[in-house]
A and B are shown apart, each in its own frame.
Chain A
């Protein structure tokens, strides 16, 4: 096979090139020709096509994502902001935490097990690349209807994929979400979050500095898997090609990654790298262009030195391959031997494939012949930026107008009992332990709280009491009704969940899952959500540290529910003071914090009982969220709380269900005088939490609420001797019956 060299490209300007097949538009191709002053070689075309894909270049979203920087709240805690592999936050005592959430939606639909597994692997490498030891993972999942035939294919595969990869890496899985809605039937969402810990002086960056320094490719060999994965899989919908894409999903080897993690941490500890980058989407194309662009500016690479799993691969394929478990480091010549010795100790393959230069050019040779010669910034950072047309969906006003106020509501105790059971047994609120019991939550020995708690809480290190809390939240139905509010509601819930455990919310990562950006209605949803999120983060004082946009989540012309998923990181000074979710002390007093309004737009009740979506989502009140969080954090610090649980989907009823079933503790509830019992039980008003307080702390706690001006209602008493959820004058529900209904749904479907 003949190699398309730079010289050949210069001599054959009219040779047709398959830019369209690689997902490039005609004007994008023309721009590449303009940049290079000639036609690109086929290797250069491979690089530009993957680097300028939506997935890598954020060309439809970049203009809008700027707001996260423009509106960023001032905080000294932010050590590294968006743009690096992951953001880094100072959590005190010399510790820094890095965290990020990323989608692997399309691969997980095509090949659920490998798609989800490599989603975990990819985000873990992003965290590792920052210089941190990865310490936990979480995952936010959305599937089609629970009883849809394809959900039976996708869900179990995704769960075993996440489980096998995360378990084998020895990373505890401490939380996440699982929701079902038919809009995700042809487009499941698999968003994986990883968090890592390092000392503040140990942060590593992805840059190739210092001419003469060596470029080392290490980890797994490059194979044919995932070729074109980034640009083809992430940029196209499934309708047209379907099965033919199967081989483009990457295959993961968690053992190789585990060894790579330990190898890298030993390399970091000995301070042996100048810069480091993982190979994820767009593989070598991305790593070489980004490292060079962020550093001195040039790099010479002998591509034929890259170790291959499949010796028949051609340069274009090597450049596009998304083989997993690979890293690229920039190492000074003095440290090279030591670097290679650490790799040898861990049996990690490491090969010097290039050198940093100050030429401002990324040059690659293939057996001595020049096949790439381009300015790396043009591929890495100067891709196209689109101002896509934006238009409110044609049905948006009608959707908001039909608020469902006339949907029949349960009127008596027995009907409300039945409604509570039906919601608790519904797929979205049902017990998820069939899924989460397939994930190791104990490994590393620092897990203080894990799912189904409101947030995962981790001790940073056994030598300190300091810890972090993490939660992910998102609600596609709320966002469909009002994307600006929906993004803020997701943010508010994640913020509330973290505070509920007693941790102070610090920073945000996000995964924005939307349909096609070429659909103006989707772009309206996206821009509204980004604006809402940026405004909300500014108000709450929590910066966005990084994240990911996933577009083209649609089947045909029908997009998924717009689904911004928010990951919130918090810090807690003493993990021993964290507040757990479940009732646990007999005779503890139960309080409802916050205000309850008649709010059922987008609610779980409207969805499960009436299959209805319309009206407005619950009111956003970020000032109230801050007030509530302040009380929850201070009350935890002062040891006033026995338990705390935030109110979200399913309202007070579901919060009671979960608080009771966590430790099989009964409760007797008296709803506030004059309250409409249906609204009190099932409304999804935000800014609320359910807490239990030992009698000895009652006065201190109510005084705290009064002093801060937080509405508080005494609504019941924990009763450990009577295992039942009793709502005075309405119903009595034995916990055994409740558990049976709540726990049966998922196993019944997936066995």
Chain B
């Protein structure tokens, strides 16, 4: 099982995502922003970071990288894609997911161990969780406020496409406490918190994040 991890100039958590993929039992494959080939991977992770310095707008330049054309096409054909933090921003800019991420309401970067509730345990990336399960994984962003128009938000809620939600206080002003969402098919998931930083008890708040990667391995098996 091969899981591609894309490196854009300015990607930071690409090696962490690759490590999480390996710990979950899959092979991680490095994908390069300038190379349109997906190298026959079975899924793709768009990692966190500041692709292209987050200049212009987070994810706005990465969206036009050659590799993204292939990712967008494959995602529309059902390839599992997980966008974490900057990767979530790229997915929104690519219109694979609705809405946008804006500057945190308190206007500061925030790094903390964040309590979340899994609201959708049926996506390609969340089957290892129970619906309603509470998990703790790191959150770290400056522009993590999820926004969309009311109609889109209602639609996301109605279709059960809110994947994870913030508990114990909203850390960045996201509408309806939304931390992560998926597309209608459930193969594309984007979230601001970082499950790849919670895959080893030694270096994270616990191993609550590993489920995202184990879910994928289970779904693909």
Contact = CB atoms under 8 A, between A and B. Distances in A.
A437 B55 CA distance: 23
A227 to B, nearest CB: 24
Which of A258, A440, A447, A459 is packed against the most chain B CB atoms within 10 Å?
A440
Given A258-B10, A448-B203, A440 B16 contact: no
B44 to A, nearest CB: 19
11 contacts: A160-B108, A167-B50, A168-B53, A170-B49, A253-B53, A255-B53, A262-B9, A437-B112, A442-B111, A445-B16, A445-B199
A425 B97 CA distance: 45
Contact of A447 (B13, B19, B49, B203): B203
Interface string B193-221: 01011011011100000000000000000
**9 residue pairs, one from A and one from B, having the closest CB atoms:** A255-B53, A170-B12, A442-B197, A445-B16, A442-B138, A168-B50, A438-B109, A440-B140, A259-B9
Interface residues of B, number: 30
Nearest to A256: B53
B110 interface: yes
Interface in B2-49: 9-10, 12-13, 15-16, 19, 48-49
Contacts of A164: 109, 142
Interface in B68-116: 108-112
Interface of B: 9-10, 12-13, 15-16, 19, 48-50, 52-55, 108-112, 138, 140, 142, 194, 196-197, 199-200, 202-204
A438 B53 CA distance: 18
A259 B194 CA distance: 22
Given A443-B16, A444-B15, A445-B19, A254 B53 contact: yes
A45 to B, nearest CB: 37
A163 to B, nearest CB: 5
A446 interface: yes
Given A259-B9, A445-B19, A438 B203 contact: no
A192 interface: no
Interface string A163-204: 110011110000000000000000000000000000000000
Contacts of A443: 12-13, 16, 48, 140, 197
Contacts of A255: 9-10, 50, 52-55
SS class, residues of chain A in contact with chain B: mixed
Interface string A335-374: 0000000000011000000000000000000000000000
B55 to A, nearest CB: 7
Contact of B202 (A168, A170, A262, A575): A575
Contact of A448 (B19, B49, B202): B202
Nearest to B22: A462
A439 B12 CA distance: 14
Given A445-B196, A445-B204, 4 more contacts: A255-B10, A258-B50, A259-B10, A442-B204
A446 B15 CA distance: 11
Contacts of B200: 445
Interface string A253-272: 11110110010000000000
A63 interface: no
Contacts of B9: 255, 258-259, 262, 346-347
A493 to B, nearest CB: 26
A214 interface: no
Contacts of B140: 167, 440, 442-443
B13 A446 contact: no
A442 B16 CA distance: 10
Contact of A439 (B10, B111, B196, B203): B111
Contacts of A160: 108-109
A305 interface: no
B9 to A, nearest CB: 5
A576 interface: yes
Contacts of B12: 168-170, 258, 443
Interface in A11-37: none
A440 B197 CA distance: 11
B107 to A, nearest CB: 10
A438 B111 contact: yes
Given A168-B53, A253-B53, A448-B202, A442 B194 contact: yes
A167 B112 CA distance: 14
A536 B196 CA distance: 43
Contacts of B13: 170, 443
Interface string A514-538: 0000000000000000000000000
A627 B76 CA distance: 64
Interface in A127-160: 160
B53 A444 contact: no
Contacts of B194: 442
A182 to B, nearest CB: 26
A441 interface: yes
B202 A459 contact: yes
Which of B53, B110, B138 is packed against the most chain A CB atoms within 10 Å?
B53
A259 B51 CA distance: 10
A441 B202 contact: no
Nearest to B108: A438
Nearest to A467: B202
B167 to A, nearest CB: 18
Interface string A238-265: 0000000000000001111011001000
Nearest to B198: A442
Nearest to B51: A255
